[in-house]
Structure formats: structure tokens, C-alpha cells
Amino acid sequence: MRLHALQYLRAIAAIAVVWSHAVIQRDEYLQFLADTGAWGVDIFFVISGFIMVFIAKPTDTPKKFISNRISRVVPLYWFFTLLTALILLLMPNLFNNSEFSWVATIKSFLFIPEVSITQSNDLWPILAPGWSLNYEMFFYVMFALSLFAPFKYRIWTCCTAIVAILLLAGIFDNGGPVTQFYSQPIVLEFILGMLLAIVFKRNLLKVSQTVAWFLIIAGFVLIITLPSPPGLRIFAIGIPALMIVTGTLYCKMGESRFFVMLGDSSYSLYLCHIFTLGLCRLILPPILGEGRLAAILFAVLATLICIASGVVVHYLIDNWFLRKERITDLQRLANGRNTTVAGNRVK
């Protein structure tokens, strides 16, 4: 079952993140633009928790699960991390207030939280958007370990492990990047998605179209307007993100190839947009000039250019990394069709 509406939502979440970064590219434009969109990451986390439970099977093993996740997530992330490292090493002037660091680079490749080389108050890898992937990989490890448990206890084992790590990191927080990173309640958003998957798979909730659309609209209003004090992101953003994902699941939407394609490209867009925005920052402002209209045009054009680059990266680079896996899937599909045809002939 392909939940195409979730693909639409993934596209919206990725574009929101791009917008949040586009509006801060030029200081003189900030006064004219709304700095919103970071909540796209929270929607991704809820969706991730949902999908891992939704596709889970009793036959899943830790090795198979983690291998599949690594093959899907790691190659493209490492590609852009390596690109960032090479730029920092060979052309450091292209980045402001940053320099190459072997320690930061190695930790970035290994998904180990570290203080940002550009923003000392943030725990970012050298490829800044990768901070969310550190949380994703943490979730995947917790989920993989839960697969050692009997099938009916796996979800609760994973939830317990996430909460336990969160509490232990908070109790033993020594101010270091690792304990500080994993003591953030944002990890609970994965649990919200997992619980939603239980409700959805077991058909425990009946939601009308009116209620579904209300959840989506109300969720977006809350997620955009509510302030997010430190430590309360799970309430100010996580709960509205859950409302949005829930409404999307129960809302009947036609399938659009274009928007599904945007959803498929969302991961590529998320990783590559920083590079595209850097080029837009150099090229567009001299053409657009100054003022409110220039600021709006810059943000819109930069976002559209990023979307286009994300699609290109998805088809030319991301799919290239996965070509062997996709060829294998096509062969299996072809074999299945041949078997069906042969069976029909016998009948």
C-alpha cells in the first residue's frame, strides 16, 4: 500500500525547511520575510516513526532492517558530507566563519553529535541539515534493537528504549555534545508517529473527512503561530505535527504523479538545498535589488530553484546510488509477472 498523501506531506515538509533557510540568506531581506518552516523536520520525525511501524513485519531482523535503512539514507548523506568537507578543505572562503576540521568531519560521517564549526551554540555536523539525520539514525538503531524482542512487544520495547536514553542523557548531562543532543524531547516525536501507526493499522480511530481536514488546517495554524520555548518543542510543534500527519492519513486525496515525485525527491532536496541556496545568494540579489519585493522574489525563486535541484539530484544521484537495489526489485517484479503469466497459461 502506497500512502501517496504522505508523499505530498513529505514534499511540503522539505519545502518548508528550504523556505526557512532561504529567508535568512540575506540580512537586508530579513525584515520583509517570515522566518518559518523549521517545523518541517518535526513532521518528518512523526512520519518516520509511523512508516517504520506501518511497514514492520514479524520476519524483520535487526540486520536486515538496519541494512535497508543504511542503504537508503547513508550514501546520499555521505556524498554531500564529502562534498562539504572538500569545499571546506580546498575553498574555505566560500563558507563564512568556518574552517575544515578532521574531528568534525569524521564525527559527521559516523552520525556522532558535535558542536557546529559555524555556529558554536548548535550541535550540527559539517553538513548542517544532517543534525536531523543524527536523530533518525538514533531512532533506527533503537528500532533495530527492538527487533530482538517478540513481535508483539517490539514497538513498546523501542518506545521504552527511546524514553530511557532521553532520561539518562538528561540525568547524566555533562554539557558535552552527545548527552546534550540526546536529552532533547524532540526524540519523542518518533514515538508519536509509532503510536499513530498502531492506531491506523488496527483501525482504532474513525475520522471523517471534515475532521481530517480540520486536523490538517488546525495543525498548520498551531505549528506556524505557536512559540516554541526551549524544551517544549514536543508540545508546540510535535503535537501539531501529529495532528497534520493524522489528518493527512485519513483525508481522501487523489494521486498526483507530480506531487508524489516531489515527495520522492524530498530527501534529496533536504540535503542539497544548502548548496543551491549558496549559489542563489551570490547570483540573485544583484539582479533583484533591494526592498520588500526583491526579498519576496528572492525567497520564492530560491525555493523554486532548490526544488528543481532536489528533483535533479534525486534522479541523477540518489537513484544512481540505489541502482543495484532498484534493478533487483525490477527483476523480482518481472519474475513474478512471468510466473503469473505461466500459471494462467497452464490454467
Helices (H), the chain: 4-22, 40-54, 62-90, 102-109, 131-146, 154-171, 177-182, 188-201, 209-225, 233, 239-250, 257-264, 266-288, 292-313, 319-321, 323-346
* Residue 23 within any structural domain of the chain: yes
What residues make up the domain containing 174?
4-342
**pLDDT tens-digit profile of 259-297?**
999 999 999 999 999 999 999 999 999 999 999 999 999
The mean pLDDT value for 20-35 works out to: 91
* Residue 322 within any structural domain of the chain: yes
Q: What is the pLDDT of residue 323?
A: 63
**pLDDT tens-digit profile of 211-259?**
999 999 999 999 999 887 777 889 999 999 999 999 999 998 888 889 9
Q: What is the pLDDT of residue 175?
A: 86
* Residue 265 within any structural domain of the chain: yes
The mean pLDDT value for 116-126 works out to: 87
Q: What is the pLDDT of residue 2?
A: 55
Q: Assess whether pLDDT exceeds 90 at residue 144.
A: yes
Task: Quote the CA–CA distance of 306 and 303 in Å, as a whole number.
Answer: 5
162 conformational bin, left if phi > 0, alpha if psi -120 to 50, beta if neither: alpha
The mean pLDDT value for 148-159 works out to: 94
The mean pLDDT value for 64-82 works out to: 94
* Residue 282 within any structural domain of the chain: yes
Q: Assess whether pLDDT exceeds 90 at residue 46.
A: yes
Higher pLDDT, 167 or 324: 167
Burial of 42: CB neighbours in 10 Å, binned 0-12, 13-18, 19+: buried
Q: What is the pLDDT of residue 162?
A: 97
Q: Assess whether pLDDT exceeds 70 at residue 95.
A: no
CB count in 10 Å sphere of residue 262: 22
Q: What are the angstrom distances between the C-alpha of 281 and each of 27, 87, 276, 289, 303?
A: 11, 17, 9, 12, 12
Task: Quote the CA–CA distance of 55 and 47 in Å, as a whole number.
Answer: 12
Task: Quote the CA–CA distance of 281 and 122 in Å, as a whole number.
Answer: 23
* % of the chain at pLDDT higher than 70: 90
The mean pLDDT value for 146-170 works out to: 95
* Residue 347 within any structural domain of the chain: no
Q: Assess whether pLDDT exceeds 80 at residue 92.
A: no
The DSSP secondary-structure symbol of 193 reads H
* Residue 273 within any structural domain of the chain: yes
* Residue 128 within any structural domain of the chain: yes
**pLDDT tens-digit profile of 131-140?**
999 999 999 9
* Residue 34 within any structural domain of the chain: yes
Q: What are 157's three cell numbers?
A: 520495547
**pLDDT tens-digit profile of 49-60?**
999 999 999 999
State how many domains the chain has: 1
